[in-house]
């Protein structure tokens, strides 16, 4: 008989979408709950007394009043930008040229790529993130380093070689053909191997010629079960640049659509300044948008319409956008999403923020059957939050009259000190590759 482990604490289980129904109707909250785990999967969630009676021989790990949630899912990152996160004062295009491209050139060295991948994954695990979708660099070694480091930690991740054949330094350029060939080789090597998933990854239209976008579209048509990740309408000057590079396109989205890069499984980061046709087409094909609030404020991009898209049923994920984003923490990212919502006049409720960082991001990645919720059969990727991790948070949460008031101070003021525990496929993780 497979041994069972019971994690006890507060539990919060989403069984509905808090953008589609009232948040109290979308969750089951247990003040004294438990999660049963066996063979890396959740087998049951419910009151602690009930699960203890059902599993009298289980190993019990008591997290006290810690809040047990699905591990956070970061739906859009650039792990190679770990070293230059929080770089001062540039708009997107200058920021890429000044900070990003010089750092990404270093990933031609496999040893450097692996060291940064290890640092990145240890950092995000310390912040309660158990799955990410990442752009790598143009170098195949950066993709290998990413997937190997994730596999060493048992993490479910999405990644892909970033493809660029213009408007970048020579050391970061490929061609339409080499982008296709290298991506296909890496896809065949990693996609579906363990918990690794490959994403076809043209960086964005300004750094790809039409021929390269067409090559990536052809590859996606060959492997439609893969995701495709890119950027869309992040800044107004970027959109103006796209218009000069693709004068025949109806809009920014059309530069992808015309080359086979619009469809289910498409992940479009930022998507701030969309035109009505773009909004309609993204909804029609059931594509995913990824909200990157700390990045959008840090680089001065704009305010994403999270409430509008989520209430319309669009797939929306939440992301740090390391290193354009200014934090590795999904708690800080949720706080920024709340602040952006306030600036738009549509503040997000704590339930909606937690949903976006877990089930919403899983849905955006089309992995909602595997991760993102506490439910039987799901992977036991979990985070346990201390809702009184600092004196200022503790005094505020002590005044709470419900779970939402208790968790909101941690969303707004919490950091890695709030992460009491992390489990990846049921295994407790330290914050190194233990």
Q: Are residues 195 and 247 in the same domain?
A: yes
Q: What is the pLDDT of residue 221?
A: 98
Q: Are residues 131 and 245 in the same domain?
A: yes
Q: Are residues 27 and 100 in the same domain?
A: no
Outline where DSSP puts E strands in 386-429: 419-424, 427-428
Structure tokens at 289: 């948008």
Q: Are residues 148 and 244 in the same domain?
A: yes
pTM of the model: 0.97
Q: Are residues 236 and 96 in the same domain?
A: yes
Q: What is the pLDDT of residue 431?
A: 45
Residue 44 in 3-state DSSP? strand
According to DSSP, the residues that pair with 13 across neighbouring strands are: 28
Q: In this structure, are residues 194 and 157 in contact, taking their beta carbons and an 8 Å threshold?
A: no
Cis peptide preceding 143, ω within 30 of 0? no
| Cα dihedral value 225, 157, 106, 120, nearest 10 | 160
Structural domain includes residue 229: yes
Look at residues 405, 356, 361, 337 and name the one whose alpha carbon lies nearest to residue 67.
Answer: 405
| Residue range of the domain that includes 415 | 5-71+373-428
Structure tokens at 351: 């339930």
| CATH at 65 | 2.30.40.10
Rounded to 10°, the helix 176-190/210-222 angle is 30
Structure tokens at 395: 């005094």
Ordered mean pLDDT values, 10 residues apiece, the chain (434 residues): 91 97 96 98 98 97 98 98 86 82 96 98 98 98 98 98 97 98 98 98 98 98 98 96 98 98 98 98 98 94 98 98 94 98 98 98 98 98 98 97 97 98 92 40
């Amino acid at each position: 008989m497979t041994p069972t482990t019971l994690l006890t604490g507060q539990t919060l289980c989403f069984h509905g979408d808090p953008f589609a129904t009232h948040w109290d109707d979308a969750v089951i909250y247990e003040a004294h709950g438990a999660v049963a785990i066996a063979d890396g999967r959740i087998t049951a969630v419910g009151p602690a007394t009930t699960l203890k009676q059902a599993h009298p021989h289980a190993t019990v790990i008591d997290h006290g009043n810690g809040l047990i949630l699905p591990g956070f899912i970061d739906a859009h990152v650039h792990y190679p930008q770990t070293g230059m996160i929080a770089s001062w004062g540039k708009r997107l295009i200058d920021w890429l040229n000044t900070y990003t491209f010089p750092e990404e050139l270093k990933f031609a060295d496999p040893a450097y790529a692996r060291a940064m991948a290890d640092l990145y994954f240890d950092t995000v695990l310390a912040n309660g993130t158990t799955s990410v979708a990442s752009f790598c660099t143009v170098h195949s070694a950066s993709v290998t380093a990413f997937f190997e480091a994730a596999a060493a930690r048992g993490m479910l991740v999405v990644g892909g070689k970033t493809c660029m054949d213009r408007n970048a330094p020579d050391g970061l350029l490929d061609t339409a053909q080499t982008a296709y060939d290298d991506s296909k080789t890496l896809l065949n090597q990693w996609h579906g191997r363990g918990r690794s998933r490959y994403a076809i990854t043209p960086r964005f239209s300004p750094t790809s010629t039409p021929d390269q976008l067409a090559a990536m579209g052809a590859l996606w048509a060959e492997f439609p079960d893969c995701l495709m990740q890119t950027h869309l309408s992040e800044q107004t000057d970027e959109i103006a640049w796209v218009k000069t590079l693709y004068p025949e396109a109806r809009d920014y989205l059309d530069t992808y659509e015309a080359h086979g890069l619009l469809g289910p499984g498409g992940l479009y980061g930022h998507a701030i300044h969309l035109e009505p046709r773009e909004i309609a087409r993204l909804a029609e094909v059931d594509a995913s948008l990824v909200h990157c609030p700390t990045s959008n404020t840090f680089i001065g991009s704009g305010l994403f319409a999270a409430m509008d898209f989520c209430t319309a049923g669009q797939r929306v994920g939440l992301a740090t956008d390391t290193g354009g984003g200014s934090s590795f923490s999904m708690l800080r990212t949720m706080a920024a999403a709340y602040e952006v919502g306030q600036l738009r006049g549509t503040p997000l409720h704590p339930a909606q923020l937690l949903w976006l960082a877990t089930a919403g991001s899983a849905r955006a990645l089309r992995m909602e059957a595997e991760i993102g919720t506490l439910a039987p059969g799901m992977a036991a990727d979990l985070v346990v939050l201390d809702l009184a991790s600092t004196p200022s948070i503790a005094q505020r949460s002590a005044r709470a009259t419900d779970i939402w008031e208790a968790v909101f101070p941690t969303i707004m003021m919490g950091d890695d000190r709030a992460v009491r525990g992390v489990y990846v496929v049921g295994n407790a993780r330290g914050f190194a590759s233990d």
